[in-house]
Each structure stands twice: as structure tokens, then as C-alpha cells.
Amino acid sequence: GRSNDPNEENLFFKFQSITTRNMDTFRKAFPETPWIYLYREPVEVMMSQLDVPQMRMANCVRSHTRSEMISRFVARSGYQPSDLDDEEWCAIHLATLCESAIKNLNDADGLGMAVNYHKDLVHDFLDTVFPKHFNVPLDQEAIDRVMKVSGTYSKNRGKQGEFKADSEEKEKKASNGIRKASSLFLDPSFHTLQDSRYNINNW
């Protein structure tokens, strides 16, 4: 949200990934507001989602019992629910989020932008997202502030902590089950995002 500074003119919302399924609702509420969809390499995001003591308790696994989007995805995939293991349910959950994002990117016709999470992400924001997509000019003070914040881990829930890239570690530790599920169910939507005309790389 915004602070109590009367000079502020911009407000930024960050939504949890599950709200991607309701992205059209937010677009109707803010029909002229630019937005981005931040996505990640399939194996890496699955490793993050499944980093829990019991895999069956992961959000991406539990959601399959109460999502019509997941039910429709499974129906068209040719698989039966009983055929699927936890890793596959997780990949399917994530695929439905990506598919929702893809639909909204196409419907928004330029107001949305797909941005891949990678080690130099901060420069994508400084060079393209803020000045060209959000139309927010950046002076040196703002750039310095962004660089400082980008070095802080955003999921510490109030605690201070330095951000450390973990992509390589996640790739190395991924099980064969995660790799297989990712390749089968999540890779197609990931590549569609990569190739989208609304991907940041095509700006």
C-alpha cells in the first residue's frame, strides 16, 4: 500500500500466485492499470512449492480437490485423477496458473507483461518494467533504493535477511519425479509465456 507521504502518486499491489486464477476480476476493477506476471523455470518453482515437511501438504498439491480449473486440465490431459502422484498434481496446479496468466495477457493486449524470474531480474525492472511499462520515471535515488531492496529476501515475513539466488541449487536437488512432472505438465505453458508477444524480451 501507500505511505502517509502526500507526494506519492503510485500504488503497487503484489498478489499471491493463487490469485492468478482471478486475474480477470482485478483487470475489470483496474482496466487501465499496467501489470506484470512473474513466472519462473518449471523445476525451480516446483522445488519451492514442494519445500515442505510433507509433500501432500504443499499448497500446490492440496488445491486439486477444490479447483474446477485443475479438474478441466486433467480431463483434457487424458489422465485419470488416480493416475497422478503429488509431484504431478503440483505441476498441474502451476500449469493452470500459467494458463490463466496467458489468457489474461492476450486479453489485456499490452497492459500485461510476462517477466521471467532470473538472477538479473532487478535490471529488467530498472530498464523496462518501471520506466517503459509502468511509466514510472526513476531518478538516481529511486534506482539506489531499488538496488538496496532487491538484496533483501522478500519472504522473511518481517525479518531482515539477505537475498541469495537459489536457482542452481534447486535444479541440482530436483528429483526425477519433479523433473518428469514438470516436463509433462508445466513446460508447455512455460514455453508459451517465453514466446508470448507480451514477454518482456519482446519489448
Residue 134 above 50 pLDDT?
yes
Of 189, 197, 192, the closest CA to residue 46 belongs to 189
pLDDT at res. 149: 87
164-195: per-residue pLDDT in tens?
566 777 777 899 999 999 999 999 999 999 99
Mean pLDDT, residues 70-83 taken together: 95
pLDDT at res. 143: 94
Model confidence at 66, pLDDT cuts 50, 70, 90, reads confident
Model confidence at 65, pLDDT cuts 50, 70, 90, reads confident
Of 183, 175, 185, the closest CA to residue 79 belongs to 185
pLDDT at res. 153: 52
C-alpha cell at 142: 529511486
Cβ atoms of residues 193 and 101 within 8 Å: yes
**38 - beta bridge partners?**
115
Mean pLDDT, residues 4-24 taken together: 88
Cβ atoms of residues 35 and 104 within 8 Å: no
- Whole-number Å distance between alpha carbons of 76 and 94: 16
- The set of residues, in sequence order, having a beta carbon less than 8 Å from that of 160 and lying 6+ positions away, is 152
Mean pLDDT, residues 82-107 taken together: 97
135-145: per-residue pLDDT in tens?
999 999 999 99
pTM of the model: 0.87
* pLDDT, averaged across the chain: 90
Residue 156 above 70 pLDDT?
no
Mean pLDDT, residues 98-108 taken together: 98
The DSSP output letter for 127 is: I
Our measurement of the distance from residue 187's CA atom to the centroid of its chain's CA atoms, rounded to an integer in Å, reads 14
Our measurement of the distance from residue 145's CA atom to the centroid of its chain's CA atoms, rounded to an integer in Å, reads 23
Residue 16 above 70 pLDDT?
yes
Q: How many CA atoms lie within 13 A of 185 on its CB side?
A: 29
Q: How many CA atoms lie within 13 A of 135 on its CB side?
A: 5
Model confidence at 27, pLDDT cuts 50, 70, 90, reads very high
